[in-house]
Amino acid sequence: MGEICSRLISPSRIKDAVHVTSASTILEYFNYLEETYLIQRIPRFAASPKASMSAPKKVYACDTGLVTAIESVDEANFGHKLENLVYLKLRNPDDSIFYFANDTDRTECDFVVERRDGTFSAVQVCWELSRDNEEREINGAVRAMERFGIKEAVLVTRDQSDLISQGGRIIRVVPSWKWFAEK
């Protein structure tokens, strides 16, 4: 289960890996996992519901303890686990959560939350912001901010703090312990 958490999942790709003949069978299994509250899937934001439904979904575990119990300890997965925890904190029955991907420049924002009042917020998650990933993480948040008219986004990290200003938009880099403590 840990191998799929916080990742884009496409049933047609999985069917080949597990030697199943039909992607609809894989989709059925994901539906069962979702119905039993083991996972939740979030859609990609798209202009039309049809486009959103056909795009790969991101999968999150509802019980991170179960994921930890069945997978090996691997520091490479810490970022995915942090993203999963952020998702669990963002969940609210009154809000809609999706991920945003810009095909033009291949950027992605982990979470865009649409509140009941019609406002949006953007949350990006990164275990450690470094020279290797800084541009990708910031550009993903900025593209989502531009698309949804958001002035300030949050980038949750393991333990870094910063304030990034780009094009009149602010990205608050916040350590996870502090972000989880916020209301």
pLDDT digits (tens, 9 = 90+) for 61-105: 999 888 888 776 666 678 999 999 999 999 999 999 999 999 889
Does a structural domain hold residue 1? no
Say if residue 26 is exposed, middle or buried (CB neighbours under 10 Å; 0-12, 13-18, 19+). buried
pLDDT of residue 129 exceeding 80, the answer is: yes
What is the count of structural domains for the chain? 1
pLDDT band at residue 3 using 50, 70 and 90 as cut-offs: low
Does a structural domain hold residue 80? yes
User: Residue 47's pLDDT is what?
Assistant: 81
Distances 27 to 18, 41, 57 between C-alpha atoms, Å? 13, 11, 11
Say if residue 168 is exposed, middle or buried (CB neighbours under 10 Å; 0-12, 13-18, 19+). exposed
Does a structural domain hold residue 93? yes
Q: What is the percentage of the chain residues whose pLDDT exceeds 90?
A: 64
Does a structural domain hold residue 2? no
Does a structural domain hold residue 111? yes
Residue with tokens 């949350």, as numbered in its chain? 123
Residue that wins the pLDDT comparison between 58 and 21? 58
List residues bridging with 100 in a β-sheet.
109
Q: How do 162-166 and 152-157 pair as beta strands?
A: unpaired
Contact 111, 97 (CB under 8 A): yes
Does a structural domain hold residue 153? yes
Provide the residue range defining the domain that includes 55.
7-181
Contact 81, 26 (CB under 8 A): no
Does a structural domain hold residue 110? yes
List residues bridging with 8 in a β-sheet.
58
Does a structural domain hold residue 102? yes
pLDDT of residue 36 exceeding 90, the answer is: yes
Average pLDDT on 130-138 reads 96
pLDDT of residue 107 exceeding 90, the answer is: yes
